[in-house]
Amino acid sequence: MAGSGDIPRLIGMVHLGPLPGSSRYDDDLDNLIEDAVTDAERLEAAGFDGLMIENFGDAPFFADDVPKVTIAAMTRVVSDIAAAVNIPFGVNVLRNDALGALAVAAATDAAFVRVNVLSGEMATDQGTIRGRAAEVARMRRSIAPDTRILADVFVKHATPPPGLTLDQAVADTAERAGADAIVISGSATGKAPTLPTIRKARAAAAGVPIVIGSGATPASAGKLLDIADSLIVGTSIKERKATTNPVSARAATAFVRAARKGKR
């Protein structure tokens, strides 16, 4: 299932456990890598045509400049995943280290990165996060010119500044900040955006691809793909639908089957 441009249509999440340096790290990087590679292989076998790899287990997160050990550890994990699969993959360094994500992407040949706040600012549990689009654009040109930037607008677990509308934020991110795709999510991990919200984003994006960043299920995949170009899928394909659990091979396969049936 080809997506729009270079962005896969179905992107499966690889949520990494706590990495070295994290407060919850258990001193077993080899086991963490084995789990991540297994998830990636299950997603590829199920029919997903892309992966997104993020340091989900590192909460509480740094706002926008993670420690060097995190970048080193992610580079190692992503490299091992890249050696195990034959589908494109992307990197998201939480909470919003876009420059770190580009560094990992450059070292591992990642096809894309996800940036939670590329333009403007959002109030989050890490404090106010401000986009660094100018730095991101220049760094990408310098070290990873072929890496696509998937940028959230009104990202989950965050609140926009008073007076800013979704249309304005989408237009600015698409036209002025250099995003290659706009990511639209619900209010939190596992929560889906409403169809009117997606339609509004689609209209404001002026042809820039729309990616659904959370909440997709087998039941909703077809409807979402009627409006959006791609889905990033995580919680609904995990064992017992818990985000921190391993990928369920059965659930992942069922999701792909439902998405293909619903969108032809």
Which tokens belong to 237? 């394909």
Provide mean pLDDT across the span 133-156: 98
Mean pLDDT of 183-195: 94
Q: What is the pLDDT of residue 5?
A: 55
Predicted confidence (pLDDT) at residue 264 exceeds the cutoff of 50: no
pLDDT confidence of residue 82: 98
User: For residue 1, what pLDDT band results from cuts at 50, 70 and 90?
Assistant: very low
Q: Which residues pair with 212 in a beta bridge?
A: 184, 231
Specify the CATH superfamily of domain 10-262: Aldolase class I (3.20.20.70)
Report the pLDDT averaged over residues 116-138: 97
DSSP string, 179-206: -SEEEE--SSTTPPPPHHHHHHHHHHHT
Nearest 10 degrees: Cα torsion 80, 112, 13, 28 = 30
> Given a cut of 70, is residue 2 above it in pLDDT?
no
- pLDDT-derived band at 263 (thresholds 50, 70, 90) equals low
For the chain, give me the number of helices (H) and strands (E)?
A: 8, 11
22-49 pLDDT tens trace: 999 999 999 999 999 999 999 999 999 9
Instruction: Label residue 251 by pLDDT band (50, 70, 90).
Output: very high
pLDDT of residue 6: 82
Percent of the chain with pLDDT over 90: 95
Element (H, E) at 33: helix 29-46
Query: Is the pLDDT higher at 262 or at 83?
Result: 83
143 confidence band (pLDDT: 50, 70, 90): very high
Residue 78: φ, ψ to 5°: -65, -40
The pLDDT score that the predictor gives to residue 262 is: 72
Mean pLDDT computed over every residue of the chain:
96
Q: What is the pLDDT of residue 45?
A: 98
